[in-house]
Structure 1
Amino acid sequence: MARTKGPIYDQILDWSTTGQKGLGWLIDPDKFDPSILSILKTKNNGLSALDFILVGGSQMDADVFQDSLRLIKEAAQNIPLIIFPGSNAQLSEDAEAILFLSLLSGRNPRFLVEEQVQAARRVDGFDLEVIPTAYILVNDGHIGSVHHASGTFPIPNSDIQKCVDTALAGKFMGMKLTYLDAGSGLDSTVSARVVGAIKEKVKNPIIVGGGIDSLDKLKSAYAAGADLVVIGNAIEKDPNFLVEVLKYKELRNFSSHVN
């Protein structure tokens, strides 16, 4: 039976309350080389920098997703897995939690509610922690794979008020997390001004992802108010990046383990 309370959300909420910071890695199984996990284990234990691994993509059928998730779970050892679903086909009991996303920055009913309705019965039958999450695409006007797949456009970083209003709407609809995503494979990131404004007004824990491919961008997101930063294919392009992040987290005494 699915649960709406559990340790994953509690940990993110604790980071938001205490000022600690979390780190996630978003893996798209369609583009993932499993050997990277073995490489990361040998590079000064870079995997220990991770608090969560998120798994999901824009294009994948149920069987491929299930098989990929099991491989990642086996290789990732004790790092909790969170489903970051691109569709209702991306569901599994082999994860610890699922971000039950509603794409509030767009007006495509499929990703506002239709995919969620189709997924609800199966999710309810799984032993998963379900975290209602306001998913908001924000960048400098660049169009990436997530925008093409969802048929929606991102909110411009320059329209801070619309970003805040959208996040507030998610909070008032009962969503526990705000996930701000610039999109994968782009140089653009969610601006520090947007993150800061939402943090100040909305108060919900904030996840920030998309375009985080350097330590400076990671630090900027944390400083602006992100409680959990999610890195994507930058880790696969340069495994040493995760080692740099681990050193930074250790220097700042940020927790690298879920309680």
Structure 2
Amino acid sequence: MREIFRTILLNREAEKKMLAVLIDPEKCQGPLLAATIAALKVEAPDFIFVGGSLTSTSTKSLIELFKEETESKIILFPGNASQFTPNADALLFMSLISGRNPDYLIGQQVQSAISVKNSGMEVIPMGYILIEGDAKSSVEYISNTQPIPREKKGIVLSTALAGELLGMHIIYLEAGSGAKSPVSPELIQYVSENISIPLIVGGGITTPADMISSFEAGADIVVIGNFFEKYPYKIPDFIEYRDKYYEEKRKKEEE
């Protein structure tokens, strides 16, 4: 029942970096949905995260479609309790630990807890930390919380450590959808070197160089969403860059 998280831990131990494509059900429809599925059939990322800050679209039917059409593991990444559906491969059961809005710290989780428990699906507890990204994000607006200024490294690390000590299995550093600036490599490195659980980084990543910089700084999983909504056909390119990075790193270690 812990297949997804076990895979993450094994890849982390092998220093094999992972890429997740974030799908927002509200946006991924019509031509964009068709183009995204076509790209995912060319090269499959490690994971497909499905969820959004606000959605009235059926998350369940979208997950069923991706399961039929792609080979990637589907992880539910819900913005609130109403987006829960048991047909994903795993659920990121997250708490917005950088904010002080009790509804996103524990309220939404309480609403869905019984349904999640009864579903029997794999659940991965995750501490979600919103970092300033030079643009007001959907998460910031919907959750009514303030991001942590990116220069406040001590606060970010203390928040991440608090999540780990509270029993979270993963920490997610998020610059927010549409961020003009991704989480800096310096901040990623500072956090990754001082926590002992896997680290996810997302928001504002628009080039393979951004992705590789995040990997080199210590991110175990990089998540890209907004950019692929504009350029879904570039998904295979990023996966190839990720694979090339891993192979070059492995060869250097063998020399």
Same fold judged by TM-score > 0.5?
yes
- SS in structure 1 of the partner of residue 21 of structure 2: strand
Of 21-30 and 233-242, more deviation after overlay is shown by 233-242
Task: Tell me if the contact between 1:139 and 1:191 (Cα under 8 Å) persists in the aligned partners.
Answer: no
- Where relative contact order (Cα < 8 A, 6+ residues apart) is larger, the structure is 1
Distance 1:223 1:128, change over 3 A: same
2:15 matched to which residue of 1? Answer: 19
SS at structure 2 position matched to 1:29 = coil
Note if contact 1:214-1:241 (Cα within 8 Å) is conserved in structure 2. Answer: no
CA deviation map 1:131-186 (0-9, x unaligned) = 00000001245311110000001111100000000000000000000011110012
Give 1:124 shift.
0.5
2:97 to 98, 104, 108: 104
Partners of 2:107 and 2:38 in 1: how far apart? 43
Aligned to 1:120: 113
Q: Is the 8 A contact 2:170 2:200 kept in 1?
A: yes
Partner in structure 1 of residue 252 of structure 2: none
Say which is worse superposed, 103-112 or 228-237, in terms of deviation: 228-237
Residue 169 of structure 1: aligned partner: 162
Cα distance, 1:244 vs structure 2: 1.8
| Whole-angstrom CA distance in 1 between matches of 2:65 and 2:5 | 24
Q: Share of identical aligned residues, percent?
A: 38
Residue number in structure 2 paired with 1:7: 3
**Cα distance between partner residues in 2 of 1:250 and 1:189:** 21
1:68 to 56, 59, 62: 62
SS of 1:230 mapped into structure 2: strand
Q: Counterpart in 2 of 1:156?
A: 149
SS in 1 for 2:83: coil
In structure 1, the partner of 2:253 is: none
Q: Distance in 1 between matches of 2:123 and 2:170?
A: 11
One-letter code of the match for 1:79? S
Q: What is the number of residues matched between the two proteins? A: 247
Is the contact made by 2:212 and 2:245 (CA closer than 8 Å) also made in structure 1?
no
Shift of 1:43: 5.5
The alignment's TM-score, normalised by the length of structure 1, stands at 0.89
Q: What 5-or-longer segments of structure 2 have no aligned partner?
A: 248-255
Q: Secondary structure at the match of 1:16?
A: helix
Name the SS of the counterpart of 1:156 in structure 2.
coil
Q: Deviations over 1:33-65 (max 9, x none)?
A: 3544543565595432x010000111124x722
Question: Contact (CA 8 Å) 2:35, 2:233: kept in 1 or not?
Answer: no
The CA RMSD over aligned residues, in Å, is: 1.9
- Work out the CA distance in 2 between the residues paired with 1:252 and 1:28: 27
1:28 is aligned to 2:24: yes
- Give the Cα separation in 1 of the matches to 2:148 and 2:236: 32
TM-score by length of 2: 0.90
Whole-angstrom distance in 2 between the partners of 1:89 and 1:41: 25
Provide the rounded CA distance (Å) in 1 between the counterparts of 2:148 and 2:188: 13
* SS of structure 1 residue aligned to 2:222: strand
Structure 1: runs of 5 or more not aligned: 255-259
Alpha-carbon distance between aligned partners in 1 of 2:158 and 2:186, rounded to the nearest angstrom? 14
Which amino acid counterpart does residue 13 of structure 1 have in structure 2?
L
Alignment of 1:38-57 (within 5 A): 38-39=34-35, 45-48=41-44, 50-57=45-52
Cα distance in 1, alignment partners of residues 137 and 195 from structure 2: 27
**Distance verdict in 2 for CA 1:141–1:248, change over 3 Å:** closer
